[in-house]
Chains A and B, each alone.
Chain A
Amino acid sequence: MIPLPPLPLALLWVVPALPLAGFVVNGALALAAPRAKRAVSITGVGALVLAFAAAALAVVELAQLHPSAPLVFRYWEWLPVGDLQVALALQLDQLSAVMILVVTGVGALIHVFSVGYMHDDPGYARYFAYLNLFVFFMLTLVLGASFPVMFVGWEGVGLCSYLLIGFWFTEKINADAGKKAFIVNRIGDFGFLVAMLLIFRHTGSLDFGVVFPKASAAFAVGGPVVTAITLFLFLGCTGKSAQIPLYIWLPDAMQGPTPVSALIHAATMVTAGVYLVARCGALFALSPVASATVAGVGALTALFAATIALKQWDIKRVLAYSTVSQLGYMFLGVGTGAYAAGIFHLTTHAFFKALLFLGSGSVIHAMHRAYHATHAHEDAQDMRNMGGLARYMPWTAALMWIATLAIAGIPPLAGFFSKDEILGAAFARGAVRPAWYVFWGMGLAAALLTAFYMTRLMLYTFHGPNRTGDREREQLHEAPPVMTGPLVALGALTVLGGALNIPPLFGGGARLEHWLAPVTDAAFTPAPDASPATEWVLVVSAVLVAAVGMVGAFRLLKPEALAPARLAPPERGLGRLLWKKWYVDELYDAIVVRPVLWLSREVLWKIVDMRLVDGLLVNGTAAASRALGWVGSRLQTGEVGVYVVLFVVGVLAVLGAVVR
């Protein structure tokens, strides 16, 4: 393996340990002194800032080494079971370096934002404890040097996601959303587990450092085993990263606090699937079918979610479907084999989607305070109740416009470069496999819709007349600096993030691609380079599409004519179909939930549980015991003579066995 790495990097465990310490301290505070908000804030934010600093130091160190193989640090044996030797080991390579920077950096900003957003919440300490725990698990996920360690993080973030979605668990709808997320995720986790077992079965190890170098020797290209492994892995990804068919939990997850949505359901946890595919690129490269599936599902999800986003009124739901859609892009990228592009988009998306969520959080915060002040029971998240907010919250509006332009793909913002790269890679792949032309087309269409619905969101929220209500209007004002500060930082990242990976076409060095090269080279399926002319055509068409979407939105939508939520007429036709999210939840309800419920109630409960378990097994055991006891009690005559006879017979039997 790798020779012992230099000392500073061996302290890599500090990076996940800091948020864990934060969790312990905040958890103790949550139990002992829930009102100590200052201590909680210092601990929670401090842990993340320090973790970011540590991560940055580690990455700088790594940059100087720039090793061609991951640096693995084994801390102690975890599961030494026969052939299965699992160590609690962390690994640092270029991919996880990017991930820990994103997680700790964006995470730190969101923590700061939370200080303002959650300030009046009674569960303040608990919130920060969960948030710190989440970051710890997320770092475990990206730093784990083997599938089991990664799985611990994978399950841990799922747990934290559940805890935070249902953070205000006194409302049933929140608790239900948390359960939905958890249950849907379990389906994906099952896929991950099966994949893990298959990997162990066929390679005899679960360490990344053993499995991936072995993969090409152990599996035939396109063979059924590797295809099954990768498809099961991807099933895990669809659960965690909200892809078709398991995306349905993410919109409901918006019931959690908005910073949570920003951190978990936009920037970090949902990208775990992308990270997993990138990490297992060596496996996906061996299975064209799986790669095509990943890309196809990604493209379909991108388009499908975008259509739903068109008609949502809840500001966070629009962003949620937008997230699903953007995640689809990332999967399109990694499925195409353009891992660098996928990770690039993951990074930039983390910036601008976090910005969008936090911005919307800022809006909701303001709306909520306004309604709270007047004791009105209006929906603070419904765009129909907003409008014209730019006047009251100029900073938020300006920063969200930057993010909107970025997500729409307007140059030179971050989103332009990353989205364009994915589309370019997909088109280039189309030369080899024509299916990718279709994927590219779907991606382009999704880009059009993205530009449209994001512009719609901005128009209805910040422009036109204000629909909040007359008394409430006086309460609307900009968020405090502790909330706008992170927004500004994320805005800067959104503007400058593209510089990470400017392609050669624009005279850039494609730095991220080169940085990731040691990781992705092994997995990369070289796409034929398109000619610069073709690339220019692609870039221009993408920008045009975005522009068309935005201009179309400006043209078609009339914020002035919109009615507030409680006066709004019901939707009809296609609009109703989109508003109802293609009736997917109802479909799942009909084909999965209801049959399962019916099966549980009619078969499992009334027959298996009542009759078989309770009747036959439980009561049957009791009855059998009693019958046996009755027989035994007949032998208990109370007469020593009988006992002696039985005893002697027993002795004779034993002696007989010896004598033979």
Chain B
Amino acid sequence: MDGTRILFDGFALLAMGSAGLCITRRNPVASALWLVVTLFALAALFVLLDAQFIAVLQVLVYAGAIMVLFLFVIMLLNLGRAAPTDLKGPLGLGVGVLLAGLLLVQLLVLRQAGPATGGAARATVEQGIIPTVARPLFTAYLVPFEITSLLLLAAIVGAVVLAKRKL
């Protein structure tokens, strides 16, 4: 158990624990905040997995933008108070736990099918953190990247059209 592993386990537990709290808090704001904690923990895990750039992006995009947007909408609709019916009844609970449990089992079984570990491709060290991601992004993945920009544009237009009362 080296230091990295200890840190990893700690953040992993934090991520899973706060995710569990996220889905069980009745208060949407609490849920959102626990989700933010999960996202932070994930960012830490990304750093430990040699993906510093992605970790920063995680904080920047998810915690800094998307979750603020969520909070904004929750407050805009004044949904901050916990609704008495937000969680489903015992039947829903049973079905949900059953299905999610089955899924978890399957995913854990599926984990064994992954490729063997080892042979780490640590290009990061030679190229620096950002070029490692940026080079393929602007060469091999240039077309998907450009398409992403189109997607975002479409999303902006769509969001404006949907949310505006009068265009």
Contacts and interface: CB of A to CB of B under 8 A. Distances in A.
Contact, chains A and B (beta carbon distance below 8 A): yes
A659 B109 contact: yes
Chain B, interface SS category? helix
B92 A652 contact: no
A648 interface: yes
Contact of B110 (A641, A648, A651, A655): A655
B102 A652 contact: yes
Nearest to B102: A652
Interface in A621-660: 641, 645, 648-649, 651-652, 655-656, 658-659
Contact of B99 (A649, A656, A658): A649
A552 B106 CA distance: 105
B110 A659 contact: yes
A641 B92 contact: yes
Nearest to A652: B102
A641 B88 contact: yes
Contacts of B100: 648
B110 to A, nearest CB: 6
B106 A656 contact: yes
A112 to B, nearest CB: 70
A641 B88 CA distance: 10
Contact of A645 (B95, B102, B106, B113): B95
A1 B88 CA distance: 83
Interface string B63-87: 0000000000000000000000000
Interface in B110-124: 110, 113
Nearest to B112: A659
B155 interface: no
B103 interface: yes
Nearest to B96: A645
Interface residues of B, number: 12
Interface string B50-67: 000000000000000000
A655 B103 CA distance: 8
A659 B104 CA distance: 12
Interface in A1-46: none
B86 to A, nearest CB: 12
A652 B88 CA distance: 21
Interface in A161-191: none
Contacts of B103: 648, 651-652, 655
A657 to B, nearest CB: 10
Contacts of B107: 655
A641 B71 CA distance: 23
Given A641-B88, A641-B92, A648 B99 contact: yes
A655 B106 CA distance: 7
A652 B99 contact: yes
B136 to A, nearest CB: 28
Given A652-B106, A659-B113, 17 more contacts: A641-B88, A641-B92, A645-B95, A645-B99, A648-B100, A648-B103, A649-B99, A651-B103, A652-B102, A652-B103, A655-B106, A655-B107, A655-B110, A656-B106, A658-B110, A659-B109, A659-B110
10 contacts: A641-B88, A645-B99, A648-B99, A648-B100, A649-B99, A652-B102, A652-B103, A659-B106, A659-B109, A659-B110
Question: What are the 10 closest A-B residue pairs judged by CB atoms, nearest first?
Answer: A655-B106, A648-B99, A659-B109, A659-B106, A652-B102, A659-B110, A645-B95, A652-B103, A656-B106, A652-B106
